[in-house]
Amino acid sequence: MTGTGTTASRRIRNLAVAVVGFTALYSGAWYYGAHEIRSRLQQFMVERQAAGLTIECGNMEVKGFPFRFEIFCTNPGIADLNHGGSADAAALRTAAQVYQPFHVVWEMDGPLDATLATGEKLSMNWSSLQSSLQLKLGGLERSSVAAEGFALRFPSGSADEASALDMKAEHAESHVRQNNEDLDAAFLARKIALKLPGTGAPVALPVFDASVDATLGGKAGLLDGRIKGPGLLRPATGEIRRAVADFGEGRVTTVSGPLSIDEEGLISGKLSLEAEQFEKWEPLLTAALPDAADNIRTAMGALKAMADSKGTVRVNLVLDKGQVLLGFIPTGIVLPPL
């Protein structure tokens, strides 16, 4: 009995020593890893500063022991000293599991205020914003972002309400991923309240839902950093697989087809447009685009004869270096360069 008891006690003691030893080694490895993360981030920011890109991460903390690495920042910001443009937010929190370090989740507190290279200001805010990133050795592979209570104003510094674009959405999300050398992108927003710049007063559209599923050829490098500098989308070819806007009352429009962006950022393409409940669209469009009202009425009058028995019209939507035509009929709408 004494021999058996001694053997059992030795096993328990050895197990305890092993557990304590493993815990000590793991703890040391975790804190070393946390120190390395902090040091490398700081070194990265110094290197970017030398290259003309300022990155701020105020009050940086690395925490999450024992199973996560978490990085917390207050007043995170970024500024491009070479090309102009900057952005800053209220707070940033990121986390990755120790056993899955290439999968990062993060959330940010608004508002986010940005200044474009042109000097124009953009402001965004939300009640919650969360994201998931999948990294690879070469950089970012895919990303998803979801926001609740999203709001955007551009330009945010404008005192003239009629010259600003305001958008609010109850829910908004975006997904981008590398697909070989192409970039796949999908966007979805629900209960969008959109005010467009107008003459004398902003133009408010009815609340609507929208979604887009598209691909940009040869632009996978936008995610992993291989494509840099101004004019990131110039030139490009792509495809809108499906873009839908639902204004309620059966007013649903669907667009699909190829498009291209030239060296000047102007969009061209021949898209297929399908508009349901066509007779209900004229009041909406003329109210939203009063400066193009005469052209819209002319186009609608010509297209009504093309409606099927359910009131659905199918027509080519032609983009010619930013000029928008319904079939061969000019709409007076000009898309800005990208």
306-338 residue pLDDT tens: 888 888 989 899 999 999 987 777 877 788 888
Spatial contact of 83 and 229, defined as CB atoms under 8 Å apart: yes
DSSP state letter for 303: H
Confidence class for position 162, pLDDT limits 50, 70, 90: low
Predicted TM-score (pTM) of the model is: 0.85
Q: Where are the beta strands (DSSP E) in 157-282?
A: 165-179, 182-196, 203-204, 208-216, 236-246, 252-261, 267-275
Q: What is the pLDDT of residues 20-57, one digit of tens each?
A: 888 899 899 899 999 999 999 999 899 888 888 899 99
Q: Give the Cα separation of 25 and 17 in Å (integer).
A: 12
